């Protein structure tokens, strides 16, 4: 058995400095140890898939990351692990527990996952090993994990058994309540703008030093068609993960960060709104382009017609929320968000449909991720004095 400090010390020597996840009783000592260490960053996620997305954003911003979760949450993590980490080749040290281990009494809901945990990890084509059982095994095991992540560009998993880590008390300060956010509405009459028109307008407004994460589907494809820039990341797959990625970037970068989200994607991971509001990065602007449909799959309606995303965001702790339905309203809201600081959410209702000649990113996802990481970690060029 090892202590949380043993793991944290060796993991730090191996370069790991950012943690996120969802608790499990088997992980309590490790999470308590990380939360009690003022030198470490830990983001408590609303779901395991969100944690994977947050860690991916943190890696893009230059951090080495650890994701911790119960094996029952592997199901929530399968989508981003296979459709985000795999195509973009984003590594993370993935610690999952072994609830329901055959032969050890446990709750009935863990029985099936306990039987298939290692098989599921292998099915996702991720390398894995048992969690190091002794202090002297930690350094070599972590060094091997780092070597394999560098070779594959993929996550590496440790499977944590009950009592692998000694009990650790929790020393966590209470999280302060955020101040009330500010709401603005920019009503408009007439036809709603197209997404392409909004993105064209956005490209003229967004600062050169800002990182931009475009959600999966036609949003990223249209952004690429209009302008391909190193500051753009075109998310593929991992629907709903753009806001988590944006949070991971924003918490670890001085740059402005803009997430271009969709209504269907935002609804899929609505819990991320609460995580963003709680950790409150002042450099994050979250734009929800709401056309009321799943545009990439034939135009089936979402439930966004009855959702006020700006009000949801403010209720979750965002500092600014705006609703608009025109290009002028969007510009006013975006300029206000830049000036007032975030996290800010702009809910823009747009028309369904997409560009007639719609391209796809020709840069491979892994290359997009690395040029985006290079952009984020490069020094910010200050504007020249007039």
**Do residues 153 and 225 both lie within one domain?**
no
Residue 360, in any domain of the structure: yes
H-helix segments, the chain = 4-13, 28-35, 48-60, 74-80, 86-88, 111-123, 135-152, 195-205, 218-226, 242-250, 263-268, 271-279, 309-315, 327-340, 365-377
63 and 193 inside one domain:
no
385 lies in some domain: no
| 248 and 194 within one domain | yes
Decide which of 129, 160, 191 is a domain's last residue. Answer: 160
* Residue 213 maps to a domain: yes
**Number of domains composing the chain:** 2
Of 160, 190, 208, the residue at which a domain comes to its end is 160
Are 22 and 134 members of one domain?
Answer: yes
233, 131: one domain: no
- Within a domain: 166: no
Q: Is the dihedral of CA 247, 253, 257, 259 positive or negative?
A: negative
Residue ranges making up the domain that contains 64: 4-160
Angstrom distance (rounded) from CA 77 to CA 126: 13
Q: Does one domain contain both 135 and 188? A: no
Do 150 and 267 lie in one domain? The reply is no
Helix, strand, coil % (nearest 5) of the chain?
45, 20, 40
CATH number at residue 250: 3.40.50.970
In a domain, 177, yes or no: no
Task: Report if residue 351 sits inside a domain.
Answer: yes
In a domain, 176, yes or no: no
Separation of alpha carbons 87 and 236, rounded Å: 8
Entry pTM? 0.94
Q: Same structural domain for residues 118 and 203?
A: no
The answer to whether residue 168 is domain-embedded is no
Cα 369 to Cα 218: distance, rounded to the nearest angstrom: 19
Q: Which of 160, 195, 226 is the last residue before a domain boundary? A: 160
Q: Are residues 224 and 276 in the same domain?
A: yes
Q: pLDDT tens digits, the chain, 386 residues: what are they? A: 899 999 999 999 999 999 999 999 999 999 999 999 888 989 999 999 999 999 999 999 999 999 999 999 999 999 999 999 999 999 999 999 999 999 999 999 999 999 999 999 999 999 999 999 899 999 999 999 999 999 999 999 999 999 999 999 888 878 888 888 999 999 888 889 999 999 999 999 999 999 999 999 889 999 999 999 999 999 988 999 999 999 999 999 999 999 999 999 999 999 999 999 999 999 999 999 999 878 777 778 889 889 999 999 999 999 999 999 999 999 999 999 999 888 999 999 999 887 677 878 899 999 999 999 999 999 887 654 54
| 252 and 288 housed in the same domain | yes
């Amino acid at each position: 058995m090892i202590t949380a400090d043993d793991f944290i010390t060796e993991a730090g020597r191996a370069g790991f400095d950012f943690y996120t996840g969802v608790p499990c009783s088997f992980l309590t000592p490790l999470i308590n140890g990380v939360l009690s260490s003022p030198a470490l960053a830990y983001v408590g996620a609303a779901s395991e898939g969100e944690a994977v997305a947050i860690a991916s954003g943190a890696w893009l911003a230059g951090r080495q990351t650890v994701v911790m979760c119960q094996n029952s949450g592997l199901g929530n993590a399968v989508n981003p692990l296979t459709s985000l980490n795999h195509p973009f080749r984003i590594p993370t040290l993935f610690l999952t527990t072994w609830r329901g281990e055959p032969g050890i009494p446990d709750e009935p809901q863990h029985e099936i996952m306990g039987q298939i945990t290692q098989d599921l990890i292998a099915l996702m084509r991720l390398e894995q090993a048992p969690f190091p059982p002794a202090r002297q095994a930690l350094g070599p095991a972590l060094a091997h994990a780092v070597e394999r992540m560098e070779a594959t560009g993929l996550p590496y998993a440790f499977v944590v058994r009950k009592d692998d880590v000694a009990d650790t008390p929790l020393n966590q300060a209470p999280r302060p309540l955020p101040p009330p956010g500010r709401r603005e509405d920019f009503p408009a009459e007439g036809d709603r703008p197209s997404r392409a028109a909004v993105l064209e307008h956005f490209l003229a407004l967004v600062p050169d030093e800002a990182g931009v994460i475009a959600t999966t589907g036609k949003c990223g494809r249209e952004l690429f068609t209009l302008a391909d820039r190193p500051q753009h990341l075109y998310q593929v797959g991992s629907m709903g993960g753009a806001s988590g990625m944006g949070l991971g970037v924003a918490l670890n970068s001085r740059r402005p960060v803009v997430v271009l989200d969709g209504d269907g994607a935002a609804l899929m991971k609505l819990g991320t709104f609460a995580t963003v509001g709680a950790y409150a990065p002042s450099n994050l602007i979250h734009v929800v382009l709401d056309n009321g449909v799943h545009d990439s799959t034939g135009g089936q309606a979402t439930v966004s017609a009855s959702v006020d995303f700006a009000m949801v965001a403010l209720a979750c702790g965002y500092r600014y929320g705006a609703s608009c339905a025109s290009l002028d309203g969007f510009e006013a809201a975006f300029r206000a968000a830049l000036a007032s600081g975030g996290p800010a959410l702009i809910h823009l209702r747009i028309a369904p449909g997409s560009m007639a000649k719609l391209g796809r990113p020709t840069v491979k996802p892994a290359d997009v991720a690395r040029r985006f990481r290079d952009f984020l970690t490069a020094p910010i060029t200050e504007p020249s004095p007039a």
